[in-house]
A and B are shown apart, each in its own frame.
Chain A
Amino acid sequence: MSSAGEAMSAAREIRTAVIVNGVRHDLTVPVSELLIDCLRDRLGLLGVKKSCDVQVCGACTVLLDGRPVSACTLPAFETRGKELRTIEGLADGDMLHPVQEAFVEHGALQCGFCTPGMILATVALLEENPSPTEDEVKHYMRGNICRCTGYKRILEAILAAGRRLAGAPR
Chain B
Amino acid sequence: MLRPFELYEPSSVAEASELLARHGDAARLYAGGTELLLAMKEGLIHYDYLVNVKTIPGLTGVRFDADGTLRIGAATPHRAVERDPRVRERFPVIARAERDVANVRVREVGTLGGNLCFAEPHSDPGTLLQIFDAAARIERKGGTREIPVGALFVGPFETCLGPDEILTEVAIPPLPARGAAAYRKFGFLERPSVGVAVAVVLDDGHVADVRIAVGCIGPVPRRMPDAEAVLRGRAIEETHAVLSEAGRLAARAADAVSDLHGSADYKQHLVGVLLRRGFEEALTALAVRERP
Query: Taking beta carbons and an 8 Å cutoff, which residues of A are in contact with B?
Result: 1-2, 4, 8, 10-12, 14, 30-34, 37, 53-56, 58, 61, 67-70, 73-75, 77, 121, 124, 139-140, 142-144
Contacts and interface: CB of A to CB of B under 8 A. Distances in A.
Interface in B5-30: 5-12, 14-15, 19
B139 to A, nearest CB: 16
A37 B33 CA distance: 17
Q: What's the dominant secondary structure at chain B's contact region? A: mixed
Interface of B: 1-12, 14-15, 19, 33-34, 37-38, 41, 49-50, 79, 99, 102-106, 108-109, 190
Contact of A12 (B4, B12, B105): B4
8 contacts: A55-B34, A55-B102, A68-B104, A69-B109, A73-B37, A139-B99, A143-B104, A143-B105
A121 B103 CA distance: 11
Given A8-B19, A31-B7, A32-B3, A121 B104 contact: yes
Contact of B10 (A8, A14, A56, A74): A8
Contacts of B103: 55-56, 58, 142-144
B208 to A, nearest CB: 35
Instruction: Give the most central of B8, B19, B108: most A CB within 10 Å.
Output: B108
A-B complex: 3 closest residue pairs judged by Cβ atoms: A143-B103, A10-B6, A31-B7
A32 B105 contact: no
A11 B5 CA distance: 9
A124 B159 CA distance: 36
B9 A61 contact: no
Contact of B105 (A10, A33, A34, A68): A68
A31 B5 contact: yes
B96 to A, nearest CB: 11
Nearest to B8: A10
A70 B105 contact: yes
Contact of A31 (B6, B11, B105): B6
Contact of A32 (B5, B12, B38): B5
A74 B34 CA distance: 8
A73 B38 CA distance: 7
A147 B28 CA distance: 37
A32 B4 CA distance: 5
Nearest to A121: B104
A1 B14 CA distance: 11
A143 B99 CA distance: 13
A1 B6 contact: no
